[in-house]
Structure 1
Amino acid sequence: MAEEQTLRSEQVFDGRLLKVYRDEVALPDGRHSVREWIDHPGASAVVPLFPDGTTVLVRQFRYPPRRFFLEVPAGKLDRPGEDPETVARRELEEETGWQARTLIHLASLYPCIGYSNELIHFYLARDLEPGRQQLAEGEWLEVVRMPLEEAFAKARRGEIADMKSTAALLLAEAFLQKNDKAVG
């Protein structure tokens, strides 16, 4: 198996969040092709777990698909090299008003390898205590508390249409089934 080699790279868009590139590459057979891709700083996503077996998700409007989504708390890394666990803690508190004394890393996955280098770090949050919700300017969301088992079922049935949230919930469910006798 051979890798594609970058021959030339042109940045075609420089946004606040995303940078878009058009690269010319040499294919393993010697031919050339073009790859358009998005440079993304990465993100962290958190499944909070309360002792009573509930969780909190957030419902918010997402402009590109123009609809509301039920999601796990999550957010992007603000600078290169930022610690994903620090981001997970920050986003959990900013979005939900809860802090986690314990974060368990579940996995780090690339959600869209065909056109982006984004890497999302997934965590299970335990030992939660009240913090202070501080939504970013222009951020509007509703915090939704529900039984964690209900969130797992929604993810399995495809009722949670956000891929990072479905992945986070299924990773948390697998972790808890393997490591805990009872959720909570």
Structure 2
Amino acid sequence: MSPDAHLREEPVSRAELLRGHFLHVVRDTVRLPSGREATREYVLHPGAVMVIGLLDDGRLIMERQYRHPMRSVIVEFPAGKLDAGEGSLACAQRELREETGYRAREWAFAGRLAPTIAYSDEIIDIWFARGLVQGERHLDEGEFLDVFAATPDEVQAWCRDGSIIDCKTLVGALWLQNVMSGAWSLDWSGAMPPGVAR
């Protein structure tokens, strides 16, 4: 028997609440460990990537983008959602190129994060990129963002003082800090590690 059996919920049925251009919201009925039933409403998400782009001079590629739900311009690492059938690395390469104009010679998969576990199944893959060469951006229709470079110290300071509040960027800054200190290592092969899907 699984050591988590006393915690697991078993799906019983699903109702679709919303299927929009971006959001797909469902309500699942689940059987609780007690045997009773409950409902869980959440967002289904195709998954996403975030790219920590390292310039040759040590600075990082960052973005400033207006985020309507927050009614604010947010400082972030470049990121975007997977297209249907798209692999994680291909998505990271596409998003970096489209949003910033940069292409990278080397890629390293760092890890994953689940930013909103209470109401979405979204998983974001964290990629590092280096050997960057700048080219032309190809933003989506209706996408407006500024691209700029910042030092790792500046990014850490913005995380500390609350200028950066984006979850994925905060996690990216943690990864960056540990990689730069030598505490965590990266494999610059550009491949997903064994056992990690996508």
Interval of TM-score (by shorter of Structure 1 and Structure 2): over 0.9
Matches within 5 A, 1:34-45: 34-45=39-50
Q: 1:53 aligns with which of 47, 52, 58?
A: 58
In the TM superposition, 1:133-148 aligns within 5 A as 133-148=137-152
Corresponding residue of 1:131: 135
Residue 159 (structure 1) aligned with residue 163 (structure 2): yes
- Distance apart, 1:65 and its partner CA: 1.1
- Which residue does 1:65 correspond to in 2? 70
Structure 1: state its 5+ residue gaps.
Answer: none
- Confirm or deny: 8 A CA contact 2:78 2:95 kept in the other structure: yes
- Counterparts of 1:1-184 in structure 2, within 5 Å, are 1-2=4-5, 3-79=8-84, 81-178=85-182
Q: How far is the alpha carbon of 1:93 from its aligned partner?
A: 1.1
Task: Give how far 1:17 is off.
Answer: 1.7
CA deviation after TM superposition for structure 1 residue 118, in Å: 0.2
The SS at the match of 2:182 is: helix
The alignment covers a number of residue pairs equal to: 179
Residue type of the alignment partner of 1:99: R
Percent identity, please.
40
1:91-111 deviation per Cα after TM superposition (whole angstroms, max 9, x unaligned): 111111111111111111111
1:128-148, CA deviations, whole angstroms, 9 ceiling, x for partnerless residues? 112221110000011121212
- Would the aligned equivalents of 2:63 and 2:78 in 1 still touch at CA under 8 Å? yes
Hey, which bits of structure 1, 4+ residues long, moved more than 6 A?
A: none
Answer whether contact 2:113 2:168 (CA < 8 A) is retained.
Answer: no
Letter in 2 for 1:33: A
Structure 2 CA distance for aligned equivalents of residues 73 and 92 of structure 1: 6
| Structure 2 CA distance for partners of 1:156 and 1:104, relative to 1, 3 Å | farther
Any unmatched runs of 5+ in structure 2?
185-198
Contact 1:155 1:170 in 2 (8 A): no
1:179, distance to aligned residue in structure 2 (A):
6.4
CA distance in 1, matches of 2:46, 2:35: 31
